[in-house]
Structure 1
Amino acid sequence: MNSNSNYPADTPSPVLEVQEQRNLQQATIYRILLAVSFVHLFNDSIQALIPAMFPTLKDNLLLSFSQVGWIAFALNITSSVIQPVIGYAADRKPRPILLPLGMCCTFAGVFLLAFANNYALVIFSVMLVGFGSAAFHPEGMRVAHMAAGQRKGLSQSIFQVGGNAGQSLGPLLMKWVFIPFGQIGALGFTVFAAAGIAVQTYVARWYREMLNAGYTFRKKSSGGTIDPARRKSILLATVILVFIVFVRSWYGASIGGYYAFYLMDNYGMKLDDAQVYIFIYLAAGAVGTFFGGPLADRFGRRNLILISMVGTVPFALALPFVNHFWAAVLLVISGFVLLSSFSVTVIYAQMLYPGNIGTVSGLITGLAFGLGGIGSVVIGELIDRIGITTVFVACGFLPLLGLLALLLPGDKKLEQWAAE
């Protein structure tokens, strides 16, 4: 007798429901992956707009380096630190509507920023942009995971490269927009935000349809409890991973936020020429992000995280002492190497906590990156006190802290935990 014969003809059997669920989980939906990657590009290019505006805002509002650092902190604290909270809530009840609503918030922030004529309004504007980004990233990461099927590493590379490519646009925005047009040039980026709203509306509709069809991020519980020793190991690995991303973000803040000032002060370089060097670093980082997943598959996730941090050290230490040509070369190498672990740290964290995609993504790409915003404040304060050259020499030692990756569980152990 057929095992499904006890079910009415119009009622799906458990076997069919499991098969349909498996089909939903395994399909790779490239149109959705590309859509969220493009929105990631729109979102992060608008975020990159703010550090690109630092020289313009500094001159227009007569700001100190410390005040510039607080603008970066306001952006990072709102865009990043609340991401784990939003991710935690989304893991328990997905909210597709957050995708277009987040971009609406970003639209309002960038519009106000174009007309901000005092420091307080600048802070409020960048906080709106930050809130929009905080709403996008956890749900965007969940969409990328949902559309990935069996190709999780590839999906993370596609999703993250959009964001890092957007970040790399910041220096070009300075060169092509703010130097010719000034602060009002930010108004043009409302077009990016409007496009993001349209694409996110499409993605949110697909997201809702998948949820209604029965897609779930969580495995069925086996009813067992996690061994206390393993729980402790997972917690330790989480702390180490967050700290490594924090240090990586801190070093990135020194290059993205202040290296243009270093070039102008030490080489007499014009602002528009200095921005090209920042673009070189960030563009190389975007390429490194894309290749990081395949490299991790070949050499191991923990190994890549370790190599990306420690391998950056010699180039970071040499950077303050070389001429224009070698500075560009070192920025290409260090950008590629350092950010090759960008998507890998996210995948590693997701394997530590299977089923909690939003929470983990918010923790790694949100909280840890946001804590890096504290670095912007500290770096700005130190530059005011001891000078920009001394600070950049000191920052070259930061990636050495990546040696802590040696304490992370190896790939075999990680895969064993994720499978159980």
Structure 2
Amino acid sequence: MVETVEAAPAVSDWQRMRHWAIAHMVDDFYQGLVPASIPFFVLQRDYSYIAASGLALAATLGSALPQPILGVLADRWRLLWLAPAGVSVAGLGAGLAGLAPTYPLVWALLLLSGLGVAAFHPAAGRDARAAAGDSARAMSFFAAGGSAGFFLAPALATPALVSLGVGATALFIPPAVLMGFVLWRHQQRRTRNAVAPKRIDGCDRWVPFFVLTAVEVVRSATYSGMNTFIALYWINHLGASRTLGGVALAAFLVGGVAGTLVGGRIADRIGMLRTVQIGSAAAIPALVVLRICPNPALGSVAVVLAGIAVNMPFAVFVKLGQDYLPTRPGTAAGVTLGLAVSAGGLFVPVLGAIADRHGPQAVLTTLCFIPAVAIALAALLPEPAR
């Protein structure tokens, strides 16, 4: 008689990644809460446009510049508390900003919120990659969580801010504190019976990593330009209402979440480099179709497709960057998730100058050509070492 042994049930990609995906969603919710709340600071506290842009700058400086440094620290020490503390601080800073009585205090709290975001990404990216293993699809859940959080921020915060005023930002503090606690407990459970992590061997390939970072900056510039000007294009060029302009922005962001998930699945099938190249190439026809759509009805389909194409390589950037820097996964995540994304936003003022002179339709025309730079750079990327 042969005794059979039942195999342990396989753990799905979502089960392995759910803590990190949800934590990323909560963390990046506060990145989206800042731009959603800034118009209410202007309307209710009479802040000038310059002062309002200063608040956006505070959050950007806090979140972008420290991430590579914190990534180096996360690679040197385990710092299991860094990601839980980061998401909690991100929520506390953004939530308390609406209650702060003076502009300097609001500015400092938004800077603190940005620092919390910066603390979360490198450590979370390192540990999420450990949980994902070699699956790009699993890593796409983590990346898509951030995109979903950025989308949910204006959808959930705007009604509260309209009804209760800018102080309603405080209502969104509890999710950050709760998520920080849940993530800390998850980290403790994960490591309680685990052996010390092995040192990862491999050669860090900085030149391909910098080329990949440049590709991500180009993608981010396209994404930021669409995120900033698509509603204005809908309203001023297509003659849609403000409500439909907001719907167009929401459709683009939803397409971005879908594109992140689709990109991870495609990368597992055909490879990460081909996914980056296909996503960069697909962005051009998707944006061209959007630009030539004559009315909002047809444009609503095109804008979703544009969101899918522009975001298709996003999860791949995170994983591929860590493959190029196998001994520095925290540093790689800090750059691809933080610095490169924020650097792309620096091109928005240039697009704003184009819009001032020629209208938002000229911005959409310009964005049709920008992905060509990503295509050229992506052709230089080598396969990661195994």
- Please report the TM-score for the alignment, with normalisation by the length of structure 2: 0.86
Whether 1:90 aligns to 2:74 is yes
- Distance, in Å, in 1 between the alignment partners of 2:173 and 2:147 is 20
Residue 345 of structure 2 is aligned to residue 363 of structure 1: no
Higher relative contact order (CA 8 A, sep 6+): 1
Matched, 1:199 2:171: no
What's the secondary structure of 1:409's corresponding residue? coil
**Unaligned 5+ residue runs, structure 2?**
1-9
Tell me the secondary structure at the aligned position of residue 335 of structure 1: helix
In terms of mean alpha carbon deviation, does 87-96 or 175-184 score higher?
175-184
Flag the structure with larger Rg.
1
| Identity across matched positions, percent | 26
Partner residue in 1 for 2:144: 161
Question: Which residue, 319, 324, 328 being the options, matches 2:290?
Answer: 319
Contact 1:319 1:327 in 2 (8 A): yes
Q: Are 1:81 and 2:45 counterparts?
A: no
Show CA shifts across 1:56-86 (max 9, x none): 344443543x665554443233212321111
Kept in 1: contact 2:94–2:110 (CA 8 A) = yes
Q: Indicate conservation of the 8 Å contact 1:305/1:405, yes or no.
A: no
Listed one character per residue, the Cα deviations across residues 350-374 of structure 1 (whole Å, up to 9, x for unaligned) are 1112121101111111111121231
Q: 1:400 aligns with which of 350, 363, 372?
A: 372
1:183 and 2:166 matched: yes
Matched, 1:209 2:180: no
Deviation string 1:313-350 (CA, Å, 9 cap, x unpaired) is 13323434531112211111011111111111111111
Q: Is the 8 A contact 2:286 2:309 kept in 1?
A: no
Greater shift, 266-275 or 87-96, is seen at 266-275
* Match among 275, 278, 281 for residue 310 of structure 1: 281
Deviations 1:278-310 (A, max 9, x none): 121111111111121221232332221122122
Residue 88 of structure 2 is matched in structure 1 by: 104
CA contact (8 A) 2:63 2:116 kept: yes
Map of 1:236 onto structure 2: 207
Aligned partners of 1:254 and 1:338: how far apart in 2?
11
Could you tell me whether the CA contact under 8 Å between 1:174 and 1:275 is conserved in 2? Answer: no
Deviates more, 1:106-115 or 1:67-76: 67-76
TM-score (ref. length: structure 1)? 0.80
Are residues 321 and 57 of structure 1, via their aligned partners in 2, closer, same or farther at CA, if it must alter by over 3 Å?
farther
Q: Which residue of 1 aligns with 2:266?
A: 295
C-alpha contact (below 8 Å) 2:212/2:381 kept by paired residues: no
**In 2 relative to 1, CA 51–319 (structure 1 residues): closer, same or farther, beyond 3 Å?**
farther
Match of residue 345 from structure 1:
317
The whole-number CA distance in structure 1 between the counterparts of 2:126 and 2:218 is 25
> Is the Cα–Cα contact under 8 Å of residues 80 and 365 in structure 1 kept in the other structure?
no
Contact 1:172–1:275 under 8 Å retained in 2: no
What's the CA shift for 1:171?
3.9
Q: Compared with structure 1, are the counterparts of its residues 187 and 301 closer, same or farther at alpha carbon in structure 2 (3 Å cutoff)?
A: same
- Between the two proteins, the alignment pairs up a number of residues equal to 375
Q: The residue matched to 1:115 in structure 2 has which SS?
A: coil
- The residue type equivalent to 1:193 in the other structure is A
Find out whether 1:329 has 2:293 as its counterpart: no
Residue ranges of structure 1 left out of the alignment (5+ in a row): 1-25
Task: Tell me the distance in 2 between the aligned counterparts of 1:337 and 1:29.
Answer: 23
Task: Kindly state the Cα deviation for residue 129 of structure 1 after the two structures are TM-superposed.
Answer: 1.7
Q: In structure 2, what is the Cα distance between the partners aligned to 1:142 and 1:54?
A: 32
**Cross-structure match for 2:5:** none
Aligned equivalents of 1:266 and 1:175: distance in 2? 25
SS of 1:213's partner is coil
Q: Following TM superposition, by how much is the alpha carbon of 1:249 offset from its aligned partner in structure 2, in angstroms?
A: 1.1
Checking the alignment, whether the CA contact within 8 Å between 1:311 and 1:337 is kept in structure 2 is yes
Distance in 1 (CA, whole Å) between partners of 2:199 and 2:137 is 18
**Partners of 2:189 and 2:99 in 1: CA distance:** 36
8 Å Cα contact 2:135/2:268 also seen in 1:
no
